[in-house]
Chain A
Amino acid sequence: MSFSLRHRPGEVGVTIEADALEDVFEQAVAAVRELLGADGEGVGDRLPVLVRGSDVAQLLADFVADLLELADYEQFAAGRVERLQLDDRQVRAALSGRTGGGRDGDDLGLHAFDLRRVGGAWRADFVVTVGRRRAAPPAA
């Protein structure tokens, strides 16, 4: 199993390949950790994640979205998956990582998501958009 990051202006393309679906989720955590570049900062912490969805691709998309939100709003940089329970409708995970090691000052988006079987393995592709935060003034 592996992941790769392709840095482009304003976005990072992510590809994950793994034999087992659970490993795709694990690699997603590793990919987001490297993408955020927050290794070693903050204090050790552990957070639960529960995602429900209509299919496994949606589960993975929402799981990655949760990782980005945790980094943004909790300043929690997930380091590894301690426990993962996965079925067709939900994923329940315990993540260890570091609070205070998240990303601040950037808006993060997630799109172009794809999950499929390729030659007996799983392949996930998605794009994380990165931009400086723009706090617009309140509407008049």
Chain B
Amino acid sequence: MTVDVGAVEDFAVGAVTRIVVDRRSIGIVNAGDDFYAVLNVCPHELAPVCEGQLGGTTLPSPPGEVRFGLENRIVRCPWHGYEFDLSQGGRCVLTRFKARLRTFPVTVRDGRVLVELKRAR
């Protein structure tokens, strides 16, 4: 099921816009050059993860050096602080925490943001 959730300009860059589709709360993220759609549920304790911060995180780097990246692609759960990488299918950045956010494919066509809620068979 493909859902038209709005025009590109409806979604501010660097923000999570929460919408309700099919009785589900879904966060739409405009990361600047990419859009993401994510279910507003943390896999840990079902927290409203989209109420958390959107930002970046520190990346693997050599000793004595700190690299920051993935800006606007990291969602941080407001309850326990788990960070999820939207560019990696919602995987937790802690590799031992195997859970992931539920994400949905997003396409932009003719200035509209389209979210695919069910997978293609």
B8 at the interface (CB under 8 A from A): no
In contact, A69 and B102 (Cβ under 8 angstroms): yes
CA distance A38 to B48 in the complex (A): 27
CB neighbors of B among A64-114 (8 A): 65, 69, 73-74, 107, 109-111, 113
B41 at the interface (CB under 8 A from A): yes
Q: Which of B24, B45, B99, B119 has the most CB of A within 10 A?
A: B99
A134 at the interface (CB under 8 A from B): yes
- Nearest CB of chain B from residue A15's CB, rounded to whole Å: 16
CB neighbors of B among A25-49 (8 A): 47
CA distance A58 to B39 in the complex (A): 20
CA distance A65 to B97 in the complex (A): 13
Question: How many of chain A's residues touch chain B, expressed as a range?
Answer: 20 to 34
- Nearest CB of chain B from residue A42's CB, rounded to whole Å: 15
- Nearest CB of chain B from residue A45's CB, rounded to whole Å: 10
In contact, A58 and B41 (Cβ under 8 angstroms): no
A129 at the interface (CB under 8 A from B): yes
Known A-B contacts A73-B117, A73-B119, A134-B25; A61 and B99 likewise in contact (beta carbons under 8 Å): yes
- A69, A107, A111, A131: the one contacting B99 at CB < 8 Å is A111
- Nearest CB of chain B from residue A60's CB, rounded to whole Å: 8
Interface size on B (CB < 8 Å)?
A: 24
Known A-B contacts A111-B99, A138-B20; A47 and B48 likewise in contact (beta carbons under 8 Å): no
In contact, B100 and A109 (Cβ under 8 angstroms): no
In contact, B99 and A136 (Cβ under 8 angstroms): no
B109 at the interface (CB under 8 A from A): no
In contact, A136 and B44 (Cβ under 8 angstroms): no
B67 at the interface (CB under 8 A from A): no
Q: Which of B17, B19, B25 has the most CB of A within 10 A?
A: B25
Can you pick out 18 interface pairs between chain A and chain B where the beta carbons lie within 8 Å of each other?
A: A58-B98, A65-B100, A73-B117, A73-B119, A109-B42, A109-B46, A110-B43, A110-B99, A131-B46, A134-B25, A134-B48, A135-B24, A136-B18, A136-B20, A136-B25, A136-B48, A138-B17, A139-B18
